[in-house]
Amino acid sequence: MPAPQSLHDQLAQWATRKGTTKLANLAPDLLAALSQGWLPTVNLVEWLAVDHATLARTVLASPAQAGHLAAALAALAQLKKPTAMQCTQAVGLALLAHQQAAPLPGLLATLAAHPSDSVRGWACYLAAADPRLDLPAKLAAVRPLAADAHFGVREIAWMALRPSLATELERAIGLLAAWATEPDENLRRFASEATRPRGVWCAHLEPLKANPALGLPILELLRADPAKYVQNSVANWLNDAHKTQPQWVQTLGARWLAASPGAATQYIVKRGLRSA
């Protein structure tokens, strides 16, 4: 549903905002626009404030989407203390389940191209959690969202895919090693972030906690990556591993510095060993 004509000028002004750091300071009209999907959030405060029920009613407003809307609202109603992440996952999985029962052509493409990053977050689960797809197909489906311009969508993309990665971990690492050579730094970072032994807001990958060397097909390709976004992820990967296998990380860091002693590798190793 397009934004009303009367909103266009206001949306243009909001497009350059930096975003408030306090929920109490979030303007009601801006929150309403975010919750109706007229524009993306610009920071965590805005993302946390989005009303997913309002968003679903706006985005899934056509008669053809009535079943999908009902499924989304039912899933949200079952959440006892809904967080933004829980709402995103609940709607995404509800849409996926209903899509399997009553397919709506083009739904994934429509949601993945929506102006709202929260809606594109739903699309991550449609792309990554479909049980009818094998792992390579899931990776192909989630790839545009992994490269999304919005930081939040990129995070949800790897979180949505991570359970599938965990069930076929070594295969996943082999497939994602190809992403570690991509020109797009977002895809390179995805390869690292999605396979972190501990990660954030996700289940741990126990095989990597016990044997982080399994991740070397990805890590070795990123040890001197020029992008700080990637460097921070690789360093956090090493910091995760250090909590269970400190000697392995220290030995790896020494080897990397000897082989490629540039600024990027120095930064990664120093940050990766910050808990040492």
| pLDDT score of 5 more than 80 | no
Report the length, in residues, of the chain: 276
Helix axes 228-242, 263-272, angle to 10 degrees: 30
Which segments of the chain are extended strands (E)? Answer: none
- Residue 2: per-residue pLDDT: 52
Structural tokens at position 242:
């250090």
- Stretch 104-126: mean pLDDT, rounded? 97
| pLDDT score of 1 more than 60 | no
The pLDDT tens digits of the residues spanning 207-234 come to: 999 999 999 999 999 999 999 999 999 9
- Residue 200: per-residue pLDDT: 82
| pLDDT score of 115 more than 90 | yes
C-alpha torsion angle, residues 115, 113, 156, 140 (rounded to 10) = -170
- Residue 239: per-residue pLDDT: 97
- Residue 12: per-residue pLDDT: 87
From 98, 109, 192, 187, select the one nearest 148 (Cα to Cα): 187
For residue 11, what pLDDT band results from cuts at 50, 70 and 90? confident
- Residue 7: per-residue pLDDT: 73
φ, ψ of residue 139 to 5 degrees: the values are: -60, -40
The pLDDT tens digits of the residues spanning 14-69 come to: 989 999 999 999 999 999 999 999 999 999 999 999 999 999 999 999 999 999 99
- Residue 4: per-residue pLDDT: 61
Q: Is the pTM of this model over 0.75?
A: yes
